[in-house]
Structures are given as structure tokens and as C-alpha cells.
Amino acid sequence: MFNGKMKALTFSYDDGVLQDKRLVEILNKYNLKGTFNINSERFGEPGELWANHKTVLVDHSRLKAEDIKYVYDGHEVAAHTLKHTNLTTLTNDDEIAYNVEQDRLNLSELVDYEVVGLAYPGGYPNSNEHVAKVVKEKTNIKYARSVDITKGFDPWPDLYQYRTTFEDCTSWDILFETGQKFLDLETDEPQIFFIWGHSYPFDAYPNRWEEFEEFCKMMSGKSDIFYGTNKEVLLSL
């Protein structure tokens, strides 16, 4: 199913922030692949956000437009709306479509390939059946990731409200446990370990970057796992 394998591992990270540089370096070190979801009208913006249960203020500055192509080389760039607008708050279908499609077009021009993925922005809930229908029918997006998680590996049946396995900030102990469960899994059916999150909260925890690298090392180099971007994995289903 996934280049001849039944198991696939993929990562998805939002906002296009400076910390993505370090995250990409770790993924590259272990030959892992991810998708990075970006707002094309917020390039270069400085910012700060509270993390670690709102106890630590961390940098949330965004990459510049000219950095996007080289920072994410070898990975996938996907849409995240122009300005990080929660699409469920919009009442006009054309406005929903424009926020997604124009972002997709802007990013496609930057990276010199056709962007086809979307991660819905704006927290929970950030998608619904109506928004997904508009995205499917009025844009050239081929898949869209939600913030909902399943904690399982079965592929979600709806490519336009796709649910992942796990959000990495939920519990790192459970993340490692789930990773080991995936490594031990033997299957005749397609199974996906799909992790999503943000890289900026890593700065709020003393050992988070080291833990992330430990997790990547644990998951890497397995002959029965396909390591791909969200597009490579989901569009193979």
C-alpha cells in the first residue's frame, strides 16, 4: 500500500515558525518525513505565545517567505489558510474557498510544486462537514487534516476531515508507548501512525527537544515502515 509496505509514519506541524528549522534537522537526521502547514500572509511576523499549560512564554516568530523553500526541502509544504483563520467562523463559501485556495497558490509559487494539502487552523473545533465540502468542491486541495485524534492507526475514511493518531503535546509518555505499539504491530491492512503538533512548545519544556530526537531515533530505520509526507501517505490510500 505504502510503497509496498502496510505501515506508514508521518508528521504534520503547523504555523511555519522558526523552531521548525531545528525540528526539520532532527527529522532529516533520522530520514523521517513531515508536512508543514503555513499561512502565506504572515511570513516574517514576530510573536510570542504561552505554552506548557500557559506557564512559559515562547517565541512564535514565523519564517520569512524566502526561507520556506530551503527550510522544508525534502518535506511537504501545505496550506493553513492565508492568516490562520478558523474557517468555521466564516459564513460565505467563497470566502472559505479563497482563504484556502489563495494560500495554496501562494505557497505553490514559493516551493515550485503544486501544494495539495491543508491543515485546518484555529483550535477546536476548526472544521465541520460544510467547510470540508467547500474545500473539496471549490479548491484544488486533495486532503485536509483536522485537530481530532483517534489514538489508533486505522486510516480515517474522510480525506477532507482527516483525523490523526496523536497530537504530540498530549502526553509524551503515551506517545512513546504508542510508538512502541506501532513498531510491534503486524498487519495485513494499511496502518498509519500520524502525529501532528507545533514545534514552538518544545522550547517550553527542559528536555522536549531531546525527547523528540529520542522518539525519532526509536521510530526510524524500520524495514516494514514507509516514512513519508502527509501527501505521500494519504494519497496512497
State the distance between the two ends of the chain, measured CA to CA, in whole angstroms: 7
Cell numbers that stand for 206 in this block: 527542559
The reported pTM is: 0.97
- At 211 the three-state DSSP class reads helix
Please name which of 162, 63, 166 lies closest in space to residue 118, comparing C-alpha atoms: 162
Condensed to tens digits (0 to 9), the pLDDT of residues 132-180 reads: 999 999 999 999 999 999 999 999 999 999 999 999 876 888 999 999 9
Q: Which are the contacts of 31, defined by CB distance < 8 A and separation ≥ 6? A: 220, 221, 227
What pLDDT does residue 107 have?
A: 98
- Using CB atoms within 10 A of its CB, is residue 129 exposed (0-12), middle (13-18) or buried (19+)? exposed
Q: How does DSSP assign 51-117, residue by residue?
A: ETTTTEEEE-PBPPGGGHHHHTTTSEEEE--SS---GGG---HHHHHHHHHHHHHHHHHHHTS---E
Domains of the chain from N-terminus onward: 7-234 (3.20.20.370)
Condensed to tens digits (0 to 9), the pLDDT of residues 11-55 reads: 999 999 999 999 999 999 999 999 999 999 999 999 999 998 889
